[in-house]
Chain A
Amino acid sequence: MDTSSPTQKKKPNELTSTLTTDYISGFDLISIEGYRQDGRKPDELRHFRVSFNVVSDADGSCYMEHGNCKLLATIYGPYEGESRSNQEQAVITCDFSMTSYCVSERRLRTFGDMKSQKLQMAIQRVFQQAVNTETYPKSQIDIHLKILQSDGNDYCPCVNATTLAFINAGIPMKDFVCSSTVGYIQNKCIIDLNQQEEQQKSPQLTLTLMPQRNDIVALTCESRVHHDIYNDMLDAATSANLQLFHLMKQAVINQLKTALHV
């Protein structure tokens, strides 16, 4: 489909930094009818499924499938912390690992590399703020995350799964914590990017939000975003997180109903 007609020359303030890459790759990330490569609309989340109490040994656990991303989050704690731990608050530690088979090329270094460490620190910081740590002084809460299958961004499904695992563990939190990515391709904001969409050199940002309080916990953007589209992307990300929040809340309610035989 040849769309490089002479009338579509790039105007000076046209926000089409992604257009050239789209045409070079030979396919449209968003088709004319408005569907993405995996059949979703631009404002549609990937298929979201959760299962609780997967690891009966742990205090809380959640197995989540978000599109093609499958991961397991387990929470141990709160338990007695080490002697050097914080006297007034609980200490939250995070351990992130992937399996060798989570990506298409077998991965030998499954933990301890840069990406894992960055993710661990990010999640630890997010949940240190979100959890009511004052209720558990001198104690420690462990988060263990294991990616069974990865589809691009691991951070967002990890945050969502950890929230649900905390709820399953019964540890009080200030609010849910939802996280979603948003990109800007072909003049449209698209939410919940998968690996293919993420690899395009398009403006993207990741928003971690407490939906009911409307508090932004973390906002990461590692690409160039023009300030004209920045607000649109933030709005799209917020609505994506609200959608996620409703799905997560529904999952928790369903779990409670089955647990209480209602």
Chain B
Amino acid sequence: MFGRHRRQYTKQIARSLNYILNNPKCFDLTQLCVVKGHHCWLVHVDISVLRYEGNLHDACSFAMKAALSETKVPALKVNHDEETNEVSVDVCDDPYQYGVLDVSNLPVLITVGQINGVHTVDTTIKEDSVTLARITYGIKPSGSIVYMNKDGGGSLDLLNIRSMGKIASDSGLQMNALLMKKIQLSKEKQASWGHTNERLLFDDDTFV
């Protein structure tokens, strides 16, 4: 996938993730607030794809959820002067004083495609290239659908859409639980290491 199509594809992924992040029911934006009306945290999510093997929507949402759950928000010292209404914010010097973001309600994207009447989840690159119609669902950990986007030139009838929704809901539930479990395992593994810097990025040891 090169050139214009790749740009469109990645922009669509960015749009889906953007919608999920800016939705107050999925991600509590007030936890990013520092001083109401004055300062707030700005979060940039940058995703670098090292290898594309199909189903990029889902993989990006898993990566984003995992990364946000590990984000360290530096501790701040805020001085709010009531009379002059001046606010001064200082970042704490101690790198070990930080807060974490709450991503327990953050949905995960599940793409369900249709090939020849059969519904597919987590397609490989070959299956992706023959899928004429697919729907990307945003599924919360409770299984409810918060986002839906249809992609591809093929058409779907209502019966198909309903069954795809059910499939997405079930897999979304499982994936959310699996993701949180893996994050927990990874945190335990990291706690047993001394310096996280010592591990090479692509070492088998770092994966859970």
A residues adjacent to B (C-beta < 8 A)? 49, 51, 54-57, 63, 65, 70, 72, 99-101, 106, 146, 148
Contact = CB atoms under 8 A, between A and B. Distances in A.
B46 interface: yes
12 contacts: A49-B200, A51-B203, A54-B202, A55-B50, A56-B51, A99-B46, A99-B48, A100-B44, A100-B46, A106-B44, A146-B48, A148-B201
Consensus secondary structure, chain B interface: loop
A65 B51 contact: no
Contacts of A55: 50-51
A101 B47 CA distance: 10
B200 A63 contact: yes
B46 A51 contact: no
Contacts, number: 29
Interface residues of B, number: 9
B59 to A, nearest CB: 15
A167 B200 CA distance: 20
Nearest to B50: A55
A55 B201 CA distance: 13
A2 B201 CA distance: 43
A72 B50 contact: yes
A63 B44 contact: no
Interface in B158-208: 200-203
Interface in B79-115: none
Contacts of B46: 99-101, 106
Contacts of A148: 48, 201
Contacts of B202: 51, 54, 63
Contacts of B51: 55-57
Interface in B15-68: 44, 46, 48, 50-51
A6 B200 CA distance: 50
Contacts of B200: 49, 51, 63, 65
Contacts of A51: 200-203
Nearest to A58: B51
A100 B47 CA distance: 9
Nearest to B52: A57
A96 to B, nearest CB: 14
A106 B45 CA distance: 11
